[in-house]
């Protein structure tokens, strides 16, 4: 009987000790943590729960890695913690840390491709983006990337991000091609992409795009050469770097597959990555009789139906330009 009493007393002592320990762990587990500022930490794939606890303690997110491990085991979620880059808020509790690691809601980063960026310029932006992995083996094909803002997480690869950009462009072109206006003198989505890239480089004024597109569409219908300066520039630089000077008469007369002064129709390919609005503009251009445009000195362009009107606009532009200099 005495032995049973001793065993019972021992069991009660163990139970009470365990209960006290559990209460202590829960109290520490739920209490505010030591973190003094919002902090981003990367939890590597394949890392053990013990290593996660030690890393969080070393980074000052939690005070005691042992209490954290005990709390995770009490919750029975040690196998469910997810790797990734997480934002931990100021004074987050250990329970809050666990909830964040269980959620899988990692930090999202952003990369914006501006409208009209060339593929060489886009590749440089992608290479410089933080937290992406891998190198780009080749520069993506010109016109294959849709300019917009893309979200990604640490550990995503540059090749994967380029793939998403290319899929987005293919889907956008396919969708807009189906909604094209009747009688557009473009035989394929690829031709629409080429013309859209020219419109993109010709104007930085969003509301002008349909009107600029109408000029090029009208010239194609009339069998006139497009005579677009940006195509000549691309034939010289291939989008790798800015030309850094004004085009010369010799440039305009030097034949290349991109020179729309020396060649009729569209150039050999896109000269940039056009945005969705420019693609829409060439597939549904404004209704106009315009065949010419030139800078107007106010950020936009002056449009003309005849060569005489155009020459007058050019003279005004040159006068404004000389006065500015």
Can you give the residue ranges of every domain in the chain? 29-103, 109-168, 183-324
Average pLDDT over residues 222-238: 97
Q: Is the pLDDT of residue 6 over 60?
A: no
**b/e for 189-226, b at 16 or more Cβ within 10 A?**
bebbbbbbbbbbbbbeeeebbbbbbbbbbbbbeeeeeb
pLDDT digits over 292-322, tens only?
A: 999 887 789 999 999 999 999 998 888 887 7
Other Cβ atoms within 10 Å of 156 Cβ, number: 18
CA-to-CA distance for 91 and 88, rounded, in angstroms? 9
CA-to-CA distance for 186 and 221, rounded, in angstroms? 10
Sign of the alpha-carbon dihedral angle for 258, 263, 266, 268: negative
CA-to-CA distance for 144 and 246, rounded, in angstroms? 28
pLDDT band at 26 (very low <50, low <70, confident <90, very high): low
Which CATH code, of 3.40.710.10, 1.10.645.10, 3.60.15.10, 3.30.1490.480, is assigned to 29-103?
A: 3.30.1490.480
Q: Is the pLDDT of residue 217 over 90?
A: yes
CA-to-CA distance for 292 and 270, rounded, in angstroms? 21
CA-to-CA distance for 89 and 235, rounded, in angstroms? 51
Q: Is the pLDDT of residue 19 over 80?
A: no
Q: Is the pLDDT of residue 61 over 70?
A: yes
Q: Is the pLDDT of residue 12 over 60?
A: no
Average pLDDT over residues 222-228: 97
Angle at CA 246, nearest 5°, toward 243 and 247? 90
- Looking at the DSSP assignment, which residues form a beta bridge with residue 42? 85
CA-to-CA distance for 146 and 142, rounded, in angstroms? 11
Taking a C-beta distance cutoff of 8 angstroms, is the pair 183, 259 a contact? no
Other Cβ atoms within 10 Å of 230 Cβ, number: 21
Torsion of CA 207, 210, 214, 216, to 10 degrees: 90
- For 159, the token pair is 């090749």
CA-to-CA distance for 61 and 48, rounded, in angstroms? 17
Helices (H) and strands (E) in the chain, counts: 12, 6
Q: Is the pLDDT of residue 17 over 60?
A: no
Q: Of residues 73 and 20, which shows the higher confidence score?
A: 73
CA-to-CA distance for 147 and 59, rounded, in angstroms? 37
CA-to-CA distance for 221 and 242, rounded, in angstroms? 31
For the packed helices 276-283 and 209-222, what is the interaxial angle rounded to 10 degrees?
40
Report residue 261: phi and psi, to 5°: -90, -35
End-to-end CA distance of the chain: 110
- For 245, the token pair is 């000077």
CA-to-CA distance for 103 and 268, rounded, in angstroms? 49
Q: What is the pTM of this model?
A: 0.83
Taking a C-beta distance cutoff of 8 angstroms, is the pair 293, 316 a contact? no
pLDDT digits over 256-304, tens only?
A: 999 999 999 999 999 999 999 999 999 999 999 999 999 887 789 999 9
pLDDT band at 197 (very low <50, low <70, confident <90, very high): very high
pLDDT band at 125 (very low <50, low <70, confident <90, very high): very high
DSSP string, 139-200: PPPTT-S--SEEEE-TT-BHHHHHHHHHHHHHHHHHHHHTTPPTT-S--SHHHHHHHHHHHH
């Amino acid at each position: 009987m005495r032995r049973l009493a001793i065993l019972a007393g021992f069991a009660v002592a163990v139970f009470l000790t365990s209960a006290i320990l559990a209460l202590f762990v829960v109290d520490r587990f739920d209490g505010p943590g030591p973190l003094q500022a919002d902090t981003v930490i990367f939890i590597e794939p394949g890392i053990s729960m013990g290593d996660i606890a030690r890393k969080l303690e070393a980074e000052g997110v939690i005070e005691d890695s042992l209490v954290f491990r005990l709390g995770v085991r009490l919750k029975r979620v040690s196998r469910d913690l997810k790797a990734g880059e997480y934002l931990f808020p100021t004074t987050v509790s250990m329970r809050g840390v666990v909830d964040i690691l269980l959620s899988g809601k990692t930090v999202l980063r952003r990369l914006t491709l501006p409208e009209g960026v060339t593929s060489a310029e886009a590749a440089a932006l992608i290479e410089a983006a933080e937290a992406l992995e891998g190198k780009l083996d080749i520069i993506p094909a010109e016109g294959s990337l849709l300019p917009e803002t893309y979200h990604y997480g640490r550990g995503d690869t540059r090749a994967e991000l380029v793939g998403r950009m290319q899929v987005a462009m293919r889907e956008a072109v396919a969708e807009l091609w189906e909604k094209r206006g009747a009688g557009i003198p473009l035989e394929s989505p690829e031709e629409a992409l080429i013309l859209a890239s020219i419109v993109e480089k010709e104007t930085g004024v969003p509301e002008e795009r349909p009107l600029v597109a109408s000029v090029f569409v009208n010239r194609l219908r009339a069998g006139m050469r497009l005579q677009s300066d940006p195509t000549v520039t691309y034939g010289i630089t291939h989008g790798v770097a800015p030309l850094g000077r004004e085009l010369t008469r010799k440039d305009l007369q030097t034949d290349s597959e991109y020179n729309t002064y020396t060649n009729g129709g569209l150039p050999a390919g896109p000269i940039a990555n056009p945005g969705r609005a420019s693609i829409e503009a060439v597939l549904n251009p404004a209704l106009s009789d315009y065949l010419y445009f030139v800078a107007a000195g106010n950020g936009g362009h002056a449009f003309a139906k005849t060569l005489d009107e155009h020459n007058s606009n050019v003279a005004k532009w040159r006068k404004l330009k000389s006065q500015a200099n």
